[in-house]
């Protein structure tokens, strides 16, 4: 029997070898496929966990951004009031001075200027902090998986302190530009002249055009000082922290010079001035009995007020604009979809090694 079996094997040797090769190949291919499938599943699980951790970190960072904005609005408001002190002029008027008309004219320019400066600076503050805190947030996310921190605490403090330019020299320069634009637009308008909401909207448009297009500077100029690289001229030379801070500031300038930043800031400004006009609209009402069908009660030009009566109204708007309590205006800025998308793009660029290299 064994002889017959052996004879059968010898006759079909090639078939046995071929079949064995196929069976063995299938076995090893199956094992290889199992190993690759397991590796792929592990990679997908790791990527999912990484994405979830980064999303959690990003969401936490946005809450920090919102809280930081709210905490900085009171000092911003105080800085604006200090530069454009309408209260002093209002108190002077109560003393019935001989130069009453001159004081009223100054009050007109200051009242409009400080509300417009408040809208500009608040929008700038919101978008600038979105850039800075998401750059830092991205670095901190990478720091959690590295031995050497990319942004140590001293660097973070030095970098974030650059926001003081917006509350200092940047705000002073912005105020000068806005006051000039307000003077050019409203300086010749009599205090007794009746002004409609449509007229106010037109004046705001003229002022914005001068500030944003004819002042000779991009709005980003008011956000960061242009002499940060003077750190390189220090007698003792640059420390590692100084070098990292300079790099962060230069990366921030690149973001501020991007078309995306300009688009987002313009969106915020449009929303800010729209809120201002909506608030002013509440004070423009048709007299009772004048709401006939032909009187167009919803027209922006249907009702007017003497400019002198509008001045106290516009003067008080700074409390709406720079309110630490989340007002409709502030909520609109913080929850704006374009602001959120911009923040996500900045964070994405600085929370991945590939994005950081770019």
Domain boundaries, the chain: 70-357
pLDDT mean over 246-256: 92
Gap between the Cα atoms of 314 and 217, Å rounded: 26
Whose tokens are 């609109």? That residue is 332
Q: How many residues does the chain have?
A: 358
Gap between the Cα atoms of 17 and 22, Å rounded: 9
Instruction: Work out the pLDDT band at 48, boundaries 50, 70, 90.
Output: very low
Q: Extract the runs of DSSP E, i.e. beta strands, from 233-336.
A: 304-306
Query: Per mean pLDDT, which range of 14-23, 85-94, 172-181, 199-208 is the poorest?
Result: 14-23
Give yes or no for residue 266 having a pLDDT over 90: yes
What's the confidence (pLDDT) of residue 34?
A: 62
pLDDT mean over 283-302: 58
pLDDT mean over 306-322: 92
CB 73 within 8 A of CB 322: yes
Give yes or no for residue 183 having a pLDDT over 50: yes
pTM of the predicted model, to two decimals?
Answer: 0.82
Gap between the Cα atoms of 309 and 173, Å rounded: 29
Burial class (CB in 10 A: 0-12, 13-18, 19+), 295: middle
CA 19-22-26 angle, to 5 degrees, is 140
How many Cβ atoms are within 10 Å of 112's Cβ, its own excluded?
29
C-alpha dist (Å) from residue 113 to 26, 185, 332: 81, 11, 22
CB 163 within 8 A of CB 72: yes
Nearest alpha carbon to residue 356 among 139, 152, 146, 154: 139
Gap between the Cα atoms of 329 and 322, Å rounded: 9
Nearest alpha carbon to residue 325 among 73, 152, 109, 156: 73
Gap between the Cα atoms of 64 and 133, Å rounded: 8
Give 37 or 144, the one with higher predicted confidence.
144
Q: Could you read off the pLDDT of 103-122 as tens digits, one per residue?
A: 999 999 999 999 999 999 99
3-state secondary structure of 194: strand
Q: Which of 12-26, 32-46, 263-277 has the highest mean pLDDT?
A: 263-277
How many Cβ atoms are within 10 Å of 336's Cβ, its own excluded?
17
3-state secondary structure of 301: coil
What's the confidence (pLDDT) of residue 218?
A: 84
Nearest alpha carbon to residue 200 among 333, 106, 311, 90: 311
């Amino acid at each position: 029997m064994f002889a017959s079996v052996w004879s059968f094997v010898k006759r079909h040797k090639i078939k046995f070898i071929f079949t064995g090769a196929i069976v063995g190949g299938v076995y090893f291919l199956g094992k290889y496929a199992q190993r690759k499938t397991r590796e792929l599943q592990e990679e997908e699980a790791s990527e999912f966990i990484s994405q979830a951790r980064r999303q959690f970190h990003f969401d936490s960072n946005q809450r920090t951004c919102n809280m930081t904005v709210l905490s900085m609005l009171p000092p911003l408001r105080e800085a604006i009031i200090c530069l454009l002190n309408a209260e002093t002029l209002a108190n002077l008027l109560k003393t019935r001075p001989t130069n009453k008309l001159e004081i009223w004219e100054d009050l007109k320019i200051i009242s409009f200027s400080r509300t417009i400066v408040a809208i500009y600076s608040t929008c700038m503050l919101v978008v600038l902090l979105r850039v800075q805190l998401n750059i830092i947030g991205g670095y901190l996310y990478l720091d959690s998986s590295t031995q050497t921190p990319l942004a140590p605490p001293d660097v973070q403090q030095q970098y974030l302190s650059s926001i003081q330019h917006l509350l200092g020299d940047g705000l002073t320069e912005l105020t000068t530009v806005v006051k000039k634009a307000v003077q050019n637009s409203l300086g010749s308008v009599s205090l007794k002249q009746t002004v409609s909401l449509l007229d106010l909207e037109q004046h705001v448009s003229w002022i914005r055009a001068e500030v944003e297009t004819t002042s000779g500077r991009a709005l980003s100029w008011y956000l960061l000082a242009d002499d940060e690289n003077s750190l390189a001229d220090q007698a003792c030379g640059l420390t590692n922290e100084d070098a990292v801070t300079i790099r962060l500031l230069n990366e921030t300038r690149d973001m501020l010079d991007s078309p995306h930043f300009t688009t987002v800031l313009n969106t915020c400004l449009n929303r800010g001035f729209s809120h201002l006009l909506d608030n002013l609209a509440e004070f423009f009402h048709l007299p009772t009995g004048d709401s006939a069908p032909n009187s167009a009660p919803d027209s922006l030009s249907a009702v007017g007020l003497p400019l002198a009566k509008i001045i106290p109204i516009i003067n008080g708007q700074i409390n709406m604009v720079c309110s630490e309590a989340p007002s409709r205006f502030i909520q609109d800025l913080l929850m704006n979809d374009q602001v959120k998308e911009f923040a996500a793009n900045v964070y994405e660029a600085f929370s991945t090694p590939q994005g950081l290299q770019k």
